[in-house]
Amino acid sequence: MSDPTPDIPSAEPPPVESFTPTFPFVNVPGHDTILRSSDGVDFHVHRIILGLVSPVFETMFQLPQPESSPTIPVIDVEEKAAVLDRMLRLFYPATRPTFATLDELRETINVVVSKYDMQAVVPTIEQELQKFVGTHPVSVYALAVTYQWKDVARAAAKESLRHAIRTPPAETTPGLDDLSAAAYQRLLRYHYLCGLKGKSTVDGLWWVPTGLVWSTCTTCAGHELNWYLADGQPYPVRKWFTDFLAQMGDILLVTPAANILESKSMYDALKKASQCATCRTLVFEQLKDFVVNHWMPKLATLIDAVELQF
């Protein structure tokens, strides 16, 4: 007779984390309304504050109310407690929300602006959104354009120049579902035009100052052609320098705000120049100074002249 099959204990579902409101949404004297979240958490609030920031709540509070009752009225809302807490902290005195992710902020924006029409807190939302520009420029651009927050959209579009966004990413960028094709195309066009500006900085060297080692050295190999520099005179520029410019030009075409100083092309240029007895004595100081004080400012000026269309 075979042994009976042993009972296999079923996996316990993970515990649901409960949310406990903290100041100022606790039961303290002065509150006159309770907002109850969809997951059953009560937030003790003040009608006058809600009515000031939201015409939706203001209209709600103007509706005929039941005869006086000893209990404080409870309003059931569709938002979960965590979302409701972040929403309220956007405008309540002596508090400020914390957004760990852009998804949290996006969810809160949809509630605050689209549902409750809290236009008074838009400047605060824009400040919070700016914090994610560096890490999620395209997603922030999508949100900003959706709500016509042009300053944030410009900042996000400019930050996108640090990335090759015209190359399809491995994963879909969050937040693009609500962005129109026309708005996305305008971002790509802005990125493309800035790329052309970046590439243009290496098409000619008339802006490059003279007297630097790549135009004075006669020891290592020069380019087959002379190049006109800032003084209008032709110089036998060293080949390692023109190779560096050509490589960076290709990079700037697809990533207009690429970090030139930390690029592999910069490393390769320094490596090649250090093999020359003349260039190695000055190149580390002069090339960095050239990039920081000449090339990057010129690139920034050209990019600033490109207008993002709305």
Q: Could you identify the residue written with the tokens 């997951």?
A: 39
* Whole-prediction pTM: 0.86
Query: Does 232 fall in a domain?
Result: yes
**What value does the CA radius of gyration of the chain take, rounded to a whole number of Å?**
30
Domain that holds residue 232: 196-304
Predicted pLDDT of residue 177: 85
Q: What is the C-alpha to C-alpha distance for residues 22 and 14, in angstroms, rounded to an integer?
A: 24
- Total domain count, the chain: 1
3-12, 42-51, 99-108 — which is least confidently predicted? 3-12
Residue 95: what pLDDT?
92
- Is residue 262 a part of any domain in this protein? yes
In a domain, 224, yes or no: yes
Tell me the pLDDT tens digit for each residue of 260-306: 999 999 999 999 999 999 999 999 999 999 999 999 999 999 999 99
Tell me the sheet residues that pair with 107: none
E strands present in the chain: 33-36, 42-45, 74-76, 227-228, 234-235
1 — pLDDT class (breaks 50, 70, 90): very low
In a domain, 140, yes or no: no
Tell me what the pLDDT averaged over the chain comes to: 92
Does residue 182 lie in a domain region?
no
In a domain, residue 40? The reply is no
Q: Give the span between the Cα atoms of 68 and 62, in whole angstroms.
A: 15
Residue 7 lies in a domain: no
Q: Give the pLDDT score at 63.
A: 80
Greater model confidence, 14 or 67: 67
Q: What is the pLDDT of residue 174?
A: 82
Domain assignment present for 251 = yes
Q: Return the axis-axis angle of helices 81-89 and 102-109, rounded to nearest 10°.
A: 80
pLDDT at 172: 81
